[in-house]
Structure 1
């Protein structure tokens, strides 16, 4: 199977440009083309401006600025012949069949045979797109429906036609999986495919029922959020995020395309308030406001919500609904509540889950595809069928009967069963024939959750667990709240290290939480300080230093595999590992200064070592401390694993895995490769400038303070950090050892943790999630 070495995207709008950026993130050169602007002197201006916007986008479209160099801007009049060099061509132009088909004929005239051509459409059937085109084009054509923003949304829906070459589908699917990090869901050639068809049904129903039942937007979003594992934006917050102006277009296309007897048609309602909001520019976050807005009149910042009855704004009020709070333990109870919130929940979610069952096999062959689509396309914690299992199919059927709603045949099939079960250590799903089938993972996918189905941890305490991955590799998993680091984790790390040394080859540090680790447990630290147990805090700092040093100099390789945030102590674990295999969406940094302390588990030491040994940095004792001071004092966090390499939180030799599901397998393979003839690293002494260097760094911090960027306590923290990074109060004739830097770290940390200003920052982080700027 030939690889995709070069790609093209035609259409430099939001989606097309985002797709091009993400292909570049995969390290693949991509041609971005659009029309020639009328009367323009720069014929490729549209595509070039799209790349400029991508470089400024928030959230960032590129994982590294270096990726932008792989995007070549052009236009479809002058640069179409260059498509002959491409292995995959993605069309992302306006949703008009005539425009797309005219473009396809031009593409077909210049592309090489076998080049995959795909459309990003979600509203036009594949059969209509390829009608009248050549046999060769139909053989190489498919639909690849990305979700916005393409870098961050893991779902990719793929649709192929009866004439599409399976090898073409396999080649694009493999590239999307391994290189783009997507979970590929195979859909049928039906309107809206899976996620948008079901998601739009849910949104329209949720909006319409909120108006009908007289709920506020806050109440509706409270019900349509966390109780069902839906993001806290709920439905009105989600519409503000994506834009209200898109709603009529998506609704209209599905209304026209779906049969009159499709349950979707019952959700179509004309809501005058929404029509008025769109007409007046109240289309959500990209407009003047939406269902929610931030009122800045008079120089203030007041969060407001729209009143659905009057259409006027009022101060936003947090919904406090007891039945919603109770649903955290039993979501089924919410569906049975007779309150307005309960009636709203059952009216929306019972119908939505029934529609999901109705879509098998109309839109997808099995429940796994539909659950994957909603979890990854709409960020639901549980897919519809996983939700049904949590509620219980009999309870859902009873709710539908109570509303006089039809019960899909597939849902009836599960009356005495569940849609998922574990049998012989395998997770299985219920088929339409009533037979359970194993969920088969793609080759190269290894999930800790699957291992847990048949295994017990070899070591465990309340904060961590150790699992056997086979082949002599153990996996250390954080299990504490938010994967925060505490004494339990430090203690078990020591036990795990001894176990690997005695009986195994390597250790992988990994978990399947949303974040690798957000750092040390600040709540425990604050509690200890409030009762003046500073000796206990210092013991934990020393224990962490010892444990991390033991990892670094162990007789076996240690590979860390982060995903999400790896902050503070979580970052320091990566710095002390022999290698890192990071998920592409890893956000790494030493953020301790933001909460009024400094890295105390060897982070300063390791960053100094990495920058001092950088051949690109000027020689001498000052450049490395200056670089580290700049990053650590400002609590810099990388926006990707690729950017983490630029900051040296990761080494150039560290690996990056694009697909989250492949991370553990890749980390295990790296650990086994290192285990062959493994030799521990040797300590590196540091050449540091001493007091004169400290003064220079303090002066830099003072300049920021004078400009209003740094606060008064920032100067105190910066001074303590500067003393560590420059080697302490003594002038240095001899190099500074790792042990000496660790001692300085520990002393600096303890000095700061005793200050009221630092304790106030920690308390602020625990209460609000943000450090106090004191």
Structure 2
């Protein structure tokens, strides 16, 4: 393999180019961001500098931390092109014009080192056209890397290589994109639109056409072609509003000009006068005055939708969408529903799945590539071939044939067989030659789903399970809704500790789900409150404390492996682990004050211990207490794993995995590295400020109250938290043990949970998903 990637250059500081540069910086790798010299400004680097400044203010943030932004070096293509000689990968993300790209490549060829990869982020121009006229050496180093927007959050990267592309150069880029940038790489063919956008554009066009032709409301169309199909709840019209209605004609023009004349897209590609008028009038979606949906500012921000027949806006209606099995993901029930719902569902889904099936082998070699592209690029829960398995390949082929539509070859090959099956505990996929092959994971990827296929849990109950993931390591998995934590989870932890201690080496706390845990099961808690089962609630609090401390002092290493949300009790269990291997997208925090409670499972002491042990913290009992009070009372949540380190939810030596698929493997290796000579940590003791410290914290909270940033009840909750963190009745000279702090925590929790205002906050959160400011 050629020179490893130690520095990257991105040319083009628009939304995509700047976002790609930010993700390289998030990986901890220096990146040079170049753009044109502006005509109006005296600052020749203004375009690139402005892009970085804008990203630092953008939400959701392209940068995982402000420190990452410092790795971006800005410049322009007139003065700084020679710096490309320092780079190992150059990513071109300029305007989609072949002449501009080719002109840039001619300049790059004069300054780049041999073996430095050059890739285009194009989504429309074939690779063969891009390298036309370039030298053999340049073509060897060239490929297409099609990122999806926003680059930090969208995991898909489509890679296209040409006949002259050097395999070592392509492998170098793929490895870096996978491990360092966190991308799932899908290899696509050099065909228009590649995989995801080609199918996605076809799906959108079908959805628009069918709604106009069938006279549907946009609300009903989105209610059908949304959650019931396992695609984002925006549906098709909501999605077009999100990405921009004005983008649609450009995509259509690109595909119709480049696709083969016999491609089915030509038969459905058409413009709609209403959409043309909307674009002309500035109604291009969320970035414009509105789109198919809008908020009418003149009528108290009333949500409105456009009538596809009249072109007039009206108040949105609650569409009577699919019901029963059709609403719950049964695709056969959905497309067989009588009336407009079934007709629309079949028009969109039937056409899309048939089109996707027709693209093997022209656009992709296998069904897995197409399914991965749509799941990662368009956030579909299931890929097209996984959906066909739900319908039945034979059923789909028969219905297409009965309507006089062509049946793709791969559907004929499948017959009445599924595209995916489990054989000897291994997931397999059907190939075009009619044989099944194992779906192989890349080196360094371990999936708990795969483990489940091959074996049974060591322990299991209604809310958790314990699995053997090999090499003497076990995995504790939460299985409840949103991975909520309850007494069953605590019970399984208590049972797991002696089992792991006697037969295994280590334990990893992990789940394949998008979110690690949303915290305690509030629904169960509110039920107990409503029947005044106070002793049961206190038992749950004490049981959680005991279980978490059991993990902390277990005679084997415990490694937390969180991704997504790790809130409340989910954050607390991680704070008790010996080490954390976190996915880069980690949203971690102690949020109990937001529902009128305080952390009750040991989180206060664990976070306090981290801040008191922090060498950067000023001496004395008060600074660490004040910092923890600020973090917990405001229910602060990290916006990335990098920020979680800054907040000390993660320790300095905790590690971050960029690729979600690699998290469990990395956590397992982390656990194994701690086994030799392992000794549990000693229990901390806290020197806390007592009553004087509590008074100081109350004064700080009162300042927020006077500014209107804290409600009356926030003051009650923050006072309970201050009592815990300052040691209750402790004097400044007293040393408070971990057990004494846990007792204070339980007492404060039980006082608050009995309050009607806390109960109101919990109920409001359950009903709306938003905090109540009472």
TM-score, normalised with respect to structure 2: 0.99
Matched ranges for 1:202-601 at <5 A:
202-297=203-298, 300-323=300-323, 326-328=326-328, 330-601=330-601
SS in 2 for 1:675: coil
Distance in 2 of aligned mates of 1:479 and 1:288: 43
Matched ranges for 1:85-234 at <5 A:
85-234=86-235
Moved more, 763-772 or 515-524: 763-772
Work out whether 1:766 is the aligned partner of 2:766.
Answer: yes
Work out whether 1:658 is the aligned partner of 2:658.
Answer: yes
SS in 1 for 2:730: coil
Moved more, 38-47 or 27-36: 38-47
Distance in 2 of aligned mates of 1:321 and 1:402: 27
Work out whether 1:744 is the aligned partner of 2:744.
Answer: yes
Distance in 2 of aligned mates of 1:637 and 1:293: 31
- Residue 540 to residue 323, structure 1, CA distance change in 2 (3 Å): closer
Work out whether 1:708 is the aligned partner of 2:713.
Answer: no
Q: Which residue of 1 aligns with 2:687?
A: 687
2:224–2:322 Cα contact (<8 Å) kept: no
Moved more, 624-633 or 24-33: 624-633
How far has the Cα of 1:324 moved from its partner? 6.7
Q: Deviations over 1:462-488 (max 9, x none)?
A: 111111011111111111111000000
1:323–1:337 Cα contact (<8 Å) kept: no
How far has the Cα of 1:329 moved from its partner? 5.3
Distance in 2 of aligned mates of 1:181 and 1:18: 14
Moved more, 328-337 or 252-261: 328-337
How far has the Cα of 1:322 moved from its partner? 4.1
Q: Deviations over 1:32-70 (max 9, x none)?
A: 000001142100000000000111111110111100000
SS in 2 for 1:215: coil
How far has the Cα of 1:399 moved from its partner? 2.8
How far has the Cα of 1:211 moved from its partner? 0.9
SS in 2 for 1:410: helix
Q: Deviations over 1:418-471 (max 9, x none)?
A: 111111221111111111111111001100111111100011111111110111
Distance in 1 of aligned mates of 2:13 and 2:330: 46
Distance in 2 of aligned mates of 1:755 and 1:114: 67
SS in 2 for 1:740: helix
Distance in 2 of aligned mates of 1:395 and 1:714: 59
Work out whether 1:66 is the aligned partner of 2:67.
Answer: yes
Distance in 1 of aligned mates of 2:768 and 2:399: 39
1:118–1:142 Cα contact (<8 Å) kept: yes
Q: Which residue of 2 aligns with 1:5?
A: 6
How far has the Cα of 1:325 moved from its partner? 5.7
Distance in 1 of aligned mates of 2:549 and 2:631: 23
Q: Which residue of 1 aligns with 2:53?
A: 52
Distance in 2 of aligned mates of 1:718 and 1:293: 40
Distance in 2 of aligned mates of 1:165 and 1:472: 40
SS in 1 for 2:621: coil
Distance in 1 of aligned mates of 2:275 and 2:736: 67
Q: Deviations over 1:694-714 (max 9, x none)?
A: 111111111111111111111
Q: Which residue of 2 aligns with 1:76?
A: 77
SS in 1 for 2:361: helix
Work out whether 1:733 is the aligned partner of 2:730.
Answer: no
Q: Deviations over 1:583-634 (max 9, x none)?
A: 1111100000001101000111111111111111111111111111111111
Distance in 1 of aligned mates of 2:317 and 2:509: 42
Q: Deviations over 1:82-140 (max 9, x none)?
A: 00000000000011111001100111100111100000001100000000011110000
SS in 2 for 1:453: helix
1:445–1:662 Cα contact (<8 Å) kept: yes
Work out whether 1:23 is the aligned partner of 2:24.
Answer: yes
How far has the Cα of 1:305 moved from its partner? 1.5
How far has the Cα of 1:398 moved from its partner? 3.0
Q: Deviations over 1:558-604 (max 9, x none)?
A: 00100110000000011000000011111100000001101000111
How far has the Cα of 1:376 moved from its partner? 0.3
Distance in 2 of aligned mates of 1:270 and 1:50: 34
Moved more, 697-706 or 49-58: 697-706
Matched ranges for 1:594-673 at <5 A:
594-673=594-673
Question: Which sections of structure 1, spanning at least 5 residues, go unmatched?
Answer: none
Q: Deviations over 1:535-571 (max 9, x none)?
A: 1001100000011111111111100100110000000
1:95–1:121 Cα contact (<8 Å) kept: yes
Distance in 1 of aligned mates of 2:18 and 2:623: 38
SS in 1 for 2:620: coil
Distance in 1 of aligned mates of 2:701 and 2:293: 39
- Residue 51 to residue 405, structure 1, CA distance change in 2 (3 Å): same
Count of residue pairs the alignment pairs up: 773
Distance in 1 of aligned mates of 2:729 and 2:503: 45
How far has the Cα of 1:272 moved from its partner? 1.1
SS in 2 for 1:507: strand
Distance in 2 of aligned mates of 1:335 and 1:254: 28
SS in 1 for 2:74: strand
Distance in 1 of aligned mates of 2:327 and 2:530: 35
How far has the Cα of 1:259 moved from its partner? 1.7
Distance in 2 of aligned mates of 1:693 and 1:571: 26
1:332–1:395 Cα contact (<8 Å) kept: no
1:223–1:324 Cα contact (<8 Å) kept: no
Distance in 2 of aligned mates of 1:295 and 1:58: 24
1:222–1:324 Cα contact (<8 Å) kept: no
1:688–1:732 Cα contact (<8 Å) kept: yes
Distance in 2 of aligned mates of 1:509 and 1:201: 41
SS in 2 for 1:652: coil
Distance in 2 of aligned mates of 1:168 and 1:155: 20
